[in-house]
Amino acid sequence: MRRLSGPELPILALTLGHVFSNAVRTLPAIAADVLSRDLGLTPEGLAALTGAFPATFALAMVPVGIGLDRWGVRRTALVLLGIGMAGSALAALAPGPGTMLLAQCVLGMGCAGALMCPMTYAARAMDGHRFALWSGIIQAFGNCGMLLSASPLALLVERQGWRAGFWASGALAALAFVAVAATVQRTPPAQAGRRSLWQDTRDILAIAVSPRLRAPMTIGFASFAVVLGVRGLWGGPWLMQAKGLTRVEAGNVLLLVAVALVAGPAIAGVVQRLVGRPVALLAGSHLTVAALVLLLPAGGPGGWLSRALGQEVLPASFDAAVMVAIGLVISFQILVFAQVRAAVPPEQTGRALSANNIAFFGGAAVLQAVSGFAAAWGGTGAALSTFAVALVVCSLAYLWLRRPGRPSLP
């Protein structure tokens, strides 16, 4: 098959892997109750089990960064998508929590390059202005996976069970594998010279702790965690338990959230180009999301907002509006990628983006585990609140690290 010379089609093919990643990691939000029932899990057990995905994802960032710079995007993406297909099959066949834990680890490894592969390809093929635009397109297109894990997978889970959801996700990974093999050219890696794997690993770890990346990695620690926490795990149980929605009704609400997450990056990119001030936009958006997350338990049964409005509980339409707003506003997290890219030379792009993803998914793993303990103590509302607290702490720390005179300023 003749390969196209322009970078756009290969980028979109690579982004299909990000679609798969978003679908499979947010599937538990719509299947949490049946997963817990069939696997014999408590709320904190489910949070710990699904938290293995972002934990493994974060650990895999070091070899992914090495692979992108040493062996190139195409080979790295194909290997990871193959692992993702295996993880989906393992999850679909899991007879108990131990096997599902292993499946989540395999899926986390397979999805580790889902965002970094198209981002790295775009960063190398485009100038800074086009990369800023395409980073938003990649994020928006990839977030379409959350559309699949809302109403469509809710209907599939309702009729065929949660195992069918993992089989469907595996089919999507297979489609991405074929698309990458057909469109992405074999290109020489950006790294020159012969280096040991230890040198590559040391470079990624050095970049991860470098002053220039401390600020974006700090806010990134809580940034993606709230997406995975609200849309990927606790949003569905909250709507079904606190608001009495059926699985399909909750899936419809999560579908609206996914639409917001698809549209949000493009809106954020436009706003940033019109307004500028990326630091203020990034911190302000995350502090706003923290306030929005806290509104969910406030409008729940016995919440302070419900009492203030003279109601026992606010209607589910309130939660739908708040969750959609969360999806739109948290999308300003795409500004992190431009800051990371600007902080390093081109030959370190794969390493730097991978190092930043350690913070994104490492934070998601840590906060998801914490939210599980919070859920066991105070219910789903308490689990959601942990992400709001983390957003406030990390946003204020980001502003402190970016204050004038700090070495973290690019």
| C-alpha dist (Å) from residue 350 to 74, 150, 204, 280 | 13, 31, 9, 26
Band of pLDDT at residue 27, cut at 50, 70 and 90: confident
DSSP state at residue 345:
-
DSSP of 267-334:
HHHHHHHHH--HHHHHHHHHHHHHHHHHHHHHTSTT-HHHHHTT-SS--HHHHHHHHHHHHHHGGGGG
Q: 194 in a domain, yes or no?
A: no
Q: 369 in a domain, yes or no?
A: yes
Q: Say which amino acid occupies 402.
A: R
CB neighbour list of residue 182: distance below 8 Å, 6 or more residues apart: 1, 3, 13
Q: 193 in a domain, yes or no?
A: no
Q: How many CB atoms lie within 10 A of CB 347?
A: 13
Q: 16 in a domain, yes or no?
A: yes
Of 18-27, 229-238, 299-308, highest mean pLDDT: 299-308
Between 378 and 350, whose confidence is greater? 378
- State percent of the chain over pLDDT 90: 31
The answer to whether residue 212 scores a pLDDT higher than 90 is no
Band of pLDDT at residue 298, cut at 50, 70 and 90: very high
Residue-wise pLDDT tens digits, 351-386 = 777 778 788 888 888 898 888 888 888 888 999 999
pTM for the full model? 0.74
Q: 1 in a domain, yes or no?
A: no
Query: By residue range, what is the domain housing residue 233?
Result: 8-183+201-401
- pLDDT at 172 (0 to 100): 92
Tokens matching residue 78: 């194909």
Q: 145 in a domain, yes or no?
A: yes
Q: What is the mean pLDDT of residues 162-179?
A: 92
Between 256 and 247, whose confidence is greater? 256
* Residue where the block lists tokens 């949070």: 47
Alpha helices in 330-379, H assignment, sequence order: 335-343, 349-378
The answer to whether residue 1 scores a pLDDT higher than 60 is no
Using CA atoms of 50, 135, 261, 51 in order, give the dihedral in degrees to the nearest 10: 10
Q: Say which amino acid occupies 269.
A: G
Query: How many domains is the chain partitioned into structurally?
Result: 1
Burial of 407 (0-12, 13-18, 19+ CB in 10 A): exposed
Q: Are 54 and 112 in contact (CB under 8 A)?
A: no
Which of 272, 275, 285 has its CA nearest to residue 398?
285
Q: 406 in a domain, yes or no?
A: no
Q: At 374, which CATH number? A: 1.20.1250.20
Q: How many CB atoms lie within 10 A of CB 410?
A: 14
Q: How far apart are CA 70 and CA 189, in angstroms?
A: 6
Q: 375 in a domain, yes or no?
A: yes
Alpha helices in 209-277, H assignment, sequence order: 211-229, 235-241, 247-275
CB neighbour list of residue 168: distance below 8 Å, 6 or more residues apart: 23, 148, 153, 156
Residue-wise pLDDT tens digits, 73-96 = 899 999 999 999 999 999 999 988
**How many helices (H) and strands (E) would you count in the chain?**
20, 0
CB neighbour list of residue 245: distance below 8 Å, 6 or more residues apart: 239, 253, 316
Q: How far apart are CA 58 and CA 260, in angstroms?
A: 25
Q: How far apart are CA 51 and CA 65, in angstroms?
A: 22
